[in-house]
Amino acid sequence: MTKNIAVLTSGGDAPGMNAGIRAVVRSAIHSGMKVWGVERGYQGLIDNRLVEMDGRSVSGIINRGGTILHSARCEAFLVPAGRERAAKTLLDRDIDGLVVIGGDGTYRGAAALYEEHGIRCVGMPGTIDNDIGGTDFTIGYDTALNTAVEAIDRLRDTADSHDRIFFVEVMGRHSGYLAMMSGIAGGAEAVLVPETPTDIGVLVDRLRACRDRGKTSSIVVVAEGDEAGNASEIAAKVSEQSEFTDQRVTVIGHLQRGGSPTAWDRILASRLGVAAVEALVEGQSNVMAALNGGEVILRPFSDTWEVKSAFDPRCVRIADVLAT
Ligand code: F6P
């Protein structure tokens, strides 16, 4: 049975990661295990940067954004030599279980660590992008969504006051999920996402139709991964092809990554953290604690790259219908 485990955060930080670390540490201690925190993701395993944690190490962090363990995207872990050094760091301390909290990219490395060195790995989905296959929601998405919607609400005030069009760029890397939901919740007149083709002519027609129906301002939410370009480029194309020239562009950017996690993200992280430790206690590996229809379940790592993530094309229609 696993006696010693470690926990790390990998990839972009997401609000709620700290709540996840807290849940892992406290439930591991509750199960009679020792638990180490790894600093800076997989890089910390390679560099042997581990700290033993106790219940007090995670006091007062459930409400804090970011990750107290720090995070990194680690190239060296992608090659076998890097993983060998990482495994040695763990095995030297008799650690045979690892919880990884992170986004896409986190799970392939963990799977390789188990296959090559027998370190059992369990994942928790953590990214604002909500783009991981096999889970309905990822830790951090809800907070980022609320941050983006608050920004859109503020921009709506000034857009209304000046009868302007605002182009608001929302994060999400290659996924339009966060942008689409921000657009629906923010009442955007148009939402441009990489999952559907963006046609500038169609966008211009829509903005004209909105104006003709009496709207004096418009919000266009642009997912950063949209194939037609970033928000500035799309705004410029709209200006070139239309009479709309007095526009403003706002890139919300990393503001979406920080901040105190919402209650939803804290609870999700707590539930997934307890489930991840239970999975290690049961001797499982290469599974992610995931949310499925309200239930916490374990999904194989392979689902994170083989199953399509949560984007629902029906939301495109909802955004369109409600923008009229
Ligand atoms: O994956 C989270 C995310 O915030 C994406 O939405 C964004 O594209 C990317 O990370 C930004 O990465 P970085 O913080 O390295 O600039």
Q: What is the pLDDT of residues 65-97, one digit of tens each?
A: 999 999 998 999 999 999 999 999 999 999 999
Over 80: is that where the pLDDT of 303 sits?
A: yes
- Closest residue to atom 12 of ligand 1, CA basis: 12
Q: What is the pLDDT of residues 181-209, one digit of tens each?
A: 999 999 999 999 999 999 999 999 999 99
pTM of the model: 0.97
* Residue 128 beta carbon below 6 angstroms from any ligand 1 atom: yes
Q: How far is the CA of 278 from the centre of ligand 1 (A)?
A: 30
pLDDT of residue 1: 66
The closest-lying atom of ligand 1 relative to the alpha carbon of residue 175 is 6
Among 71, 129, 251, the mutation site with the greatest number of ligand 1 atoms within 8 A of its Cβ is 129
- Closest residue to atom 6 of ligand 1, CA basis: 172
* Average pLDDT value for residue range 268-282: 98
pLDDT of residue 3: 86
Q: What is the pLDDT of residues 139-167, one digit of tens each?
A: 999 999 999 999 999 999 999 999 999 99
Domains and CATH numbers, the chain: 4-128+264-292 (3.40.50.450), 143-256+313-322 (3.40.50.460)
* Residue 223 beta carbon below 6 angstroms from any ligand 1 atom: no
pLDDT of residue 83: 97
* Residue 62 beta carbon below 6 angstroms from any ligand 1 atom: no
* Residue 182 beta carbon below 6 angstroms from any ligand 1 atom: no
Q: What is the pLDDT of residues 20-68, one digit of tens each?
A: 999 999 999 999 999 999 999 999 999 999 999 999 999 999 999 999 9
The closest-lying atom of ligand 1 relative to the alpha carbon of residue 172 is 6
- Closest residue to atom 1 of ligand 1, CA basis: 12
* Average pLDDT value for residue range 289-318: 92
* Residue 127 beta carbon below 6 angstroms from any ligand 1 atom: yes
- Closest residue to atom 10 of ligand 1, CA basis: 12
Cα–Cα distance, 110 to 271 (Å, whole number): 21
To the nearest whole percent, how much of the chain has pLDDT over 90?
94
Q: Give catalytic residues, as residue numbers.
A: 129
pLDDT of residue 324: 83
* Average pLDDT value for residue range 125-136: 96
The closest-lying atom of ligand 1 relative to the alpha carbon of residue 103 is 1
* Residue 12 beta carbon below 6 angstroms from any ligand 1 atom: yes
* Residue 102 beta carbon below 6 angstroms from any ligand 1 atom: no
The closest-lying atom of ligand 1 relative to the alpha carbon of residue 73 is 15
* Residue 179 beta carbon below 6 angstroms from any ligand 1 atom: no
Q: What is the pLDDT of residues 87-129, one digit of tens each?
A: 999 999 999 999 999 987 899 999 999 999 999 999 999 999 9
